[in-house]
Amino acid sequence: MATPKFKTSKSRAASRKAANMRLRKPTLTKCENCGNMILPHNICPVCGFYDGKEAISMEDK
């Protein structure tokens, strides 16, 4: 197994960790049924459809 030849400095390790610490906008897709913006691979909270099929009945709610 390979081992490091020299110690990694605190600043180098911290900058490598900080490179991925950022807020990202959530990816949104348009519902095929009602056009509402939803998270991908989730049931639409407005119409209750998923993948073009009714997953939950919204008359109950």
For the entire predicted model, the pTM comes to 0.58
Is residue 42, in this structure, part of any structural domain at all?
yes
Could you tell me if 27 and 40 are in contact, meaning their C-beta atoms sit under 8 angstroms apart? yes
- What pLDDT sits at residue 19? 92
Alpha carbon 2 to its chain centroid, in Å, reads: 34
Residue 31: inside a domain: yes
| Phi, psi of 54, deg, nearest 5 | -75, 115
Question: Which of 16, 45, 12 lies closest to 28 in space, CA to CA?
Answer: 45
Q: How many distinct structural domains can be found in the chain?
A: 1
pLDDT at 6 over 80: yes
pLDDT tens column, 15-27? 999 998 989 999 9
Q: What is the pLDDT of residue 45?
A: 92
Rounded mean pLDDT of the chain? 90
Range of the domain at 52: 24-61
